[in-house]
Structure formats: C-alpha cells, structure tokens
Amino acid sequence: MISSDKDATLDSRTLNTELADYLASRSDQIIVATNARGENGKKIRDLLTDYSFEYHSMDNIVPKTDPEYWAHLLMYYGLQPQECFYLDHSEDNLEAAAQIEIEGELFVNNKQGIEVLKSL
C-alpha cells in the first residue's frame, strides 16, 4: 500500500490512496505489515493517520520473508491463518506467509488487487 519503488526515498514514498480508500470501505480488520523501522516506520505511520488500519512491524529484526514474522503477527493479534488474507508485491513475502497457511495473492496493480479483495 506504500510505494515500493526501489528508487524512492523516505521523503518520496507515498500512500496508494485508491487501495487504502477501498480497504477502509470494508468491514475487515486491516493490518499493514511492514519491515520498516526508525524513520521509515514513522513515515509509514504518518501516511496512515487518516485510516484506522493496524500497523505491524518487527523493525526488520525478523523480515517478512521469514515465517516467524507471520507467526508473531498471528499471535499478537490473536488470529488464525484462515482468518487472514495477505496482498503483497513480493512473492518471497507471500511464500513465507503461506508456510504458516496464510492465503495470499501477488499485488500487480490496483485494479487486480481490488478485484482479488472483492472476491473474498
């Protein structure tokens, strides 16, 4: 949901408001899972201030490519894997979540991502 352009700097990162607005219109619990830490984490939290999304980061101590990240997220929020759906731009992150049975889909663009979410 936050720009992931490899050339983006902390100051140039933006919020994908089309996707954020769609997610905010749903009654689901939305958790923004990130590896961000320090100033990057603060920037993301600042971008999300107009939304009631949860923010989850392990400050990259355990990256999203590690199933332990997802196990911690489930424990922290008291969720079961079947209660979750994960949309991400990284196949490696999706594979780690899938290892503990969190279903997910690769995010390609807003149209595709929103259609996937509508089908849930």
Contact 58, 72 (CB under 8 A): yes
Q: Does position 93 have pLDDT exceeding 80, yes or no?
A: yes
Q: What percentage of the chain exceeds 70 in pLDDT?
A: 90
**In 3-state terms, what secondary structure has residue 34?**
strand
In CATH, which of 3.40.50.1000, 3.90.190.20, 3.90.470.10, 3.40.47.10 is domain 17-118?
Answer: 3.40.50.1000
113 Cβ neighbours under 8 A, 6+ residues apart:
19, 87, 105, 107
Tokens representing 8? 């983006």
- How far apart are the C-alpha atoms of 64 and 90, rounded to whole Å? 10
- How far apart are the C-alpha atoms of 76 and 15, rounded to whole Å? 25
Q: Does position 80 have pLDDT exceeding 70, yes or no?
A: yes
32 Cβ neighbours under 8 A, 6+ residues apart:
1, 2, 44, 48, 53, 54, 55, 56
Q: Does position 109 have pLDDT exceeding 70, yes or no?
A: yes
Cβ-based neighbour number of residue 94 at 10 Å: 21
pLDDT in tens, 50-64: 999 999 998 889 999
Give the residue extent of every domain in the chain.
17-118
pLDDT given for residue 37 in this prediction: 86
pLDDT in tens, 4-45: 555 555 566 788 999 999 999 999 999 999 988 888 889 999
Question: Beta strands 85-88 and 103-106: pairing type?
Answer: parallel
Q: What is the CA radius of gyration of the chain?
A: 14
